[in-house]
């Protein structure tokens, strides 16, 4: 704390050179950068700071009392200086709040002042709002009246929602603020307000009261490593509360017209807070003051990393380390990433790419996504590094290929990178379930054999009579087929049994259906794998084959909605006992 003549000399140097003579304050604020950019001449980033200045200059101060608001009022200075009139409506006699932050010319002082106040209500508040966060170095008040016996300086870091005391002043600290004048700042209470009575020293009138935010704070030389002290110097608002007029003291007499507050200058030294990542603050498109951020940072105070620069956590710049934000490694396939603290702790890199483009995937967009494979002729950073698999919809087991070779997973007997051809010794069946069959194992005679006599094959049309006269009616799905000694064995899934008159009950599930090879050659019936059919026939018993035997008298038709409606109709007639009430004759 500086008072009297030494304080005057101190502040004169401070105002002219924008420096603070205190050694501890100089350690933190002697940071003027010769270049007005945040990069040196070699393009390397370094810490940069906005200009240090009187941030209260020409700013609006909100006050709770100003003289002459309710008409002209009389005030008196010291007995040898005489008295005057304050009238807010007369510019030549007014003492408005704007005089607090105008140009402070010692040869032509302008003062803000209150009306003379009685002892019952002497609280007057001055509030400076700064629009955004600033790093505060000092707060200075120059009086054109007697300095108050008691006052306090507060700061807010949340635009006036809450207030933290910076410093107390009182002729009786214990009585006013319950604090001793012998308080000492230590490492344990560096962000605690003290109380002093040193401001009461001469001169009584026209003196200064100045507060330095870092003077006497033990951690000030290493403030970059002390978050509490960083927060201590940060403010969005400054408030000064006058509580007791010094005119109450006996040696000033009993003239009540001398009991007022008067201030000729309210100055605050500081910088726009940009955490070492900007050299200036500007108005944004909303008209609000923000940092012009560099080092790939963003935010009102350059307090976060930009969208694509999140490979490590945001940190403020220091004199030793710039701590610029680092770009994520997304292989040129993403514009956004997020920071993962766990990955950063394990690997030293915390960037995770999001919304990978160009058919890539992975934390770094460093491999092809499912359904694509890598073009070995292109670097992974190329926008066409990933090629679509294009697996054949019938020949492959799925759409996903080997991401290194592009080979699709082929079904049995199928070959080719996209599974679009049959292996040697296999032939195409044009069916999805088994598109290629081994010719040796499935030596089914060609359907188009020219010497085949198919006159015995007569197409059997479904009718109510055929349905009623036959022993069973079932709906099946063809699963596989195998050639066995003159017979074609079809493995089917019985999905529904409509009627059955055999000795043993026919249940749903897998069953063998037998058709003679000569009938298959004539497409009689024409079974296709994976399709559903209605089979209506007799319980023909064959000595060798166990299962359902399809003969020339069996009705086989592909299942459809129309067939389903007809079968339902036949079942209703069967239940009513009118199944055979028809004139249509049936040749069994």
Residue 180: pLDDT over 60: yes
- Fold classification of 53-272 is Jelly Rolls (2.60.120)
pTM (whole model) above 0.75: no
Residue 451: pLDDT over 60: no
Q: Compute the average pLDDT of residues 417-446.
A: 80
Q: Compute the average pLDDT of residues 526-550.
A: 82
Nearest to 150 by CA among 195, 103, 203: 195
DSSP state of 488: E
- End-to-end CA separation in angstroms for the chain: 122
Residue owning tokens 């009585």? 175
How high is the pLDDT of residue 495?
A: 93
Instruction: Report the range of poorest mean pLDDT among 74-78, 262-266, 361-365, 553-557.
Output: 74-78
How high is the pLDDT of residue 204?
A: 61
Residue owning tokens 């609000």? 288
Tokens of 293: 């951020």
b/e per residue, 154-191, with b = 16+ CB within 10 A? bbbbeeeeebebbbbbbbebeebbebeeeeebeeeebe
How high is the pLDDT of residue 19?
A: 39
Distances (CA, A) of 310 to 14, 19, 326, 352, 380: 40, 36, 6, 8, 21
Instruction: Tell me which of 3.30.465.10, 2.40.50.120, 3.30.70.240, 1.20.1260.10 is the CATH number of domain 464-576.
Output: 2.40.50.120
State CA 6 to chain mean position distance. Answer: 53
Residue 56: pLDDT over 90: yes
Higher per-residue confidence, 105 vs 24? 105
Residue 580: pLDDT over 50: yes
Residue owning tokens 């790419």? 353
How high is the pLDDT of residue 203?
A: 64
Residue 481: pLDDT over 70: yes
Residue owning tokens 């002892």? 119
265 forms beta bridges with: 142
Question: How far apart, in whole angstroms, are the C-alpha atoms of residue 67 and residue 74?
Answer: 9
How high is the pLDDT of residue 2?
A: 38
In this structure, what are the phi and psi dihedrals at residue 302, rounded to the nearest 5 degrees?
Answer: 55, 45
Helix, strand, or coil here: 392?
coil
Question: How far apart, in whole angstroms, are the C-alpha atoms of residue 243 and residue 149?
Answer: 8
Q: Compute the average pLDDT of residues 137-156.
A: 94
Residue 202: pLDDT over 90: no
Tokens of 205: 């009138």
- Dihedral angle, C-alpha 296, 300, 302, 307, nearest 10 °: -40
Question: How far apart, in whole angstroms, are the C-alpha atoms of residue 489 and residue 477?
Answer: 14
Q: What is the pLDDT of residues 204-251, one digit of tens each?
A: 666 889 999 999 999 999 999 999 999 999 999 999 999 998 764 544
DSSP state of 335: S
Task: Find which of 77-81, 363-367, 523-527, 568-572 is predicted with most confidence, using mean pLDDT.
Answer: 363-367
pLDDT category at 544 given cuts 50, 70, 90 is low
pLDDT category at 32 given cuts 50, 70, 90 is very low
Question: How far apart, in whole angstroms, are the C-alpha atoms of residue 162 and residue 105?
Answer: 34
Asked if residues 193 and 166 have their Cβ atoms less than 8 Å apart, the reply is yes
All residues at 6 or more sequence positions from 238 whose CB lies less than 8 Å from its CB, including other chains = 56, 127, 128, 130, 136, 139, 153, 154, 155, 156, 268
How high is the pLDDT of residue 323?
A: 96
Distances (CA, A) of 217 to 23, 30, 75, 509: 11, 17, 41, 87
How high is the pLDDT of residue 587?
A: 44
Residue 131: pLDDT over 50: yes
- Mean pLDDT, the chain, rounded, equals 86
Residue owning tokens 């049936």? 586
How high is the pLDDT of residue 28?
A: 43
How high is the pLDDT of residue 501?
A: 81
Question: How far apart, in whole angstroms, are the C-alpha atoms of residue 475 and residue 533?
Answer: 6
Question: How far apart, in whole angstroms, are the C-alpha atoms of residue 409 and residue 400?
Answer: 8
pLDDT category at 137 given cuts 50, 70, 90 is very high
Residue 12: pLDDT over 50: no
Q: Compute the average pLDDT of residues 290-302.
A: 96
Higher per-residue confidence, 34 vs 54? 54
Distances (CA, A) of 538 to 4, 467, 469, 574: 124, 10, 9, 17
Instruction: Report the range of poorest mean pLDDT among 3-7, 246-250, 278-282, 342-346.
Output: 3-7
State CA 256 to chain mean position distance. Answer: 62
Give the up-direction half-sphere exposure of residue 69: CA atoms within 13 A in the CB hemisphere. 12
Higher per-residue confidence, 156 vs 548? 156
Higher per-residue confidence, 173 vs 484? 173
Question: How far apart, in whole angstroms, are the C-alpha atoms of residue 280 and residue 132?
Answer: 13
Task: Find which of 53-67, 537-551, 557-571 is predicted with most confidence, using mean pLDDT.
Answer: 53-67
240 forms beta bridges with: 126, 153
How high is the pLDDT of residue 247?
A: 60
Question: How far apart, in whole angstroms, are the C-alpha atoms of residue 78 and residue 260?
Answer: 12
List alpha helices for 63-139, DSSP H. Answer: none
Residue 328: pLDDT over 80: yes
Class of domain 389-439 (CATH, top level): mainly beta
Helix, strand, or coil here: 222?
helix
State CA 254 to chain mean position distance. Answer: 66
In total, the chain counts a number of residues equal to 588
Question: How far apart, in whole angstroms, are the C-alpha atoms of residue 32 and residue 52?
Answer: 8
How high is the pLDDT of residue 289?
A: 96
């Amino acid at each position: 704390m500086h008072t009297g003549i030494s304080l005057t000399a101190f502040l004169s140097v401070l105002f002219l050179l924008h420096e603070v003579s205190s050694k501890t304050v100089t350690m933190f604020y002697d940071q003027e950068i010769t270049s007005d950019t945040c990069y040196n001449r070699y393009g390397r980033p370094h810490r940069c700071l906005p200009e240090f200045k009187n941030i209260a200059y020409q700013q609006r101060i909100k006050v709770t009392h100003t003289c002459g608001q309710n008409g002209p009022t009389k005030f008196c200075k010291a007995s040898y200086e005489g008295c005057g009139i304050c009238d807010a409506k007369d510019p030549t006699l007014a003492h408005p709040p704007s005089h607090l932050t105008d140009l402070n010319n010692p040869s032509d002082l302008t003062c803000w002042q209150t009306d003379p106040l009685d002892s019952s209500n002497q609280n007057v508040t001055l509030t400076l709002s700064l629009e955004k966060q600033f790093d505060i170095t000092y707060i200075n008040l120059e009086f054109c009246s007697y300095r108050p016996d008691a006052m306090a300086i507060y700061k807010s870091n949340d635009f006036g929602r809450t207030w933290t005391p910076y410093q107390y002043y009182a002729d009786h600290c214990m009585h006013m603020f319950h604090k001793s004048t012998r308080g000492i700042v230590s490492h344990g209470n560096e962000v605690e307000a003290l109380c002093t009575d040193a401001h009461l020293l001469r001169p009584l009138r026209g003196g200064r009261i100045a507060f330095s935010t870092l003077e006497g704070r033990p951690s000030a030389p290493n403030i970059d490593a002390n978050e509490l002290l960083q927060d201590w110097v940060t403010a969005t608002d400054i408030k000064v509360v006058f509580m007791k007029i010094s005119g109450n003291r006996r040696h000033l007499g009993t003239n009540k017209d001398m009991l007022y507050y008067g201030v000729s200058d309210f100055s605050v030294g500081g910088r726009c807070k940009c955490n070492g990542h900007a050299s200036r603050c500007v108005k944004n498109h909303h008209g609000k003051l923000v940092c012009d951020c560099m080092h790939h940072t963003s935010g009102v105070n350059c307090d976060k990393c930009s969208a694509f620069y999140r490979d490590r956590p945001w940190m403020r710049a220091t004199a030793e380390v710039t701590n610029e934000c680092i770009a994520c490694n997304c292989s040129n396939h993403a514009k956004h990433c997020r920071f993962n603290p766990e990955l950063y702790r394990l690997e030293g890199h915390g960037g995770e790419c999001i919304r990978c483009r160009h058919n890539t995937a992975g934390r770094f967009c460093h491999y092809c996504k499912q359904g694509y494979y890598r073009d070995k002729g292109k670097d992974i950073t190329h926008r066409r590094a990933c090629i679509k698999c294009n697996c054949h919809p019938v020949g492959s087991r799925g759409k996903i290929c080997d991401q290194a070779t592009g080979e699709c997973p082929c079904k049995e007997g199928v070959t080719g990178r996209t599974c679009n051809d049959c292996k040697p010794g296999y032939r195409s069946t044009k069916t999805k379930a088994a598109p290629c069959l081994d010719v040796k194992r499935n030596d089914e005679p060609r359907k188009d054999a020219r010497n085949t006599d198919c006159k015995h094959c007569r197409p059997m049309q479904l009718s109510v009579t055929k349905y009623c006269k036959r022993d069973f009616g079932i709906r099946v799905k063809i699963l596989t087929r195998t050639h066995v000694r003159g017979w074609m064995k079809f493995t089917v899934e019985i999905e529904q049994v409509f009627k059955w008159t055999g000795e043993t009950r026919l249940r749903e599930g897998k069953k063998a259906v037998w058709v003679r090879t000569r009938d298959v050659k004539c497409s009689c019936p024409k079974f296709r794998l994976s399709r559903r059919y209605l089979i209506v026939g007799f319980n023909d018993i064959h000595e060798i084959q166990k299962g359902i035997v399809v003969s020339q008298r069996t009705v086989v038709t592909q299942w459809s909605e129309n067939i389903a409606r007809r079968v339902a109709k036949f079942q209703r007639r069967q239940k009513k006992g009118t199944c055979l009430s028809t004139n249509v004759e049936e040749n069994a």
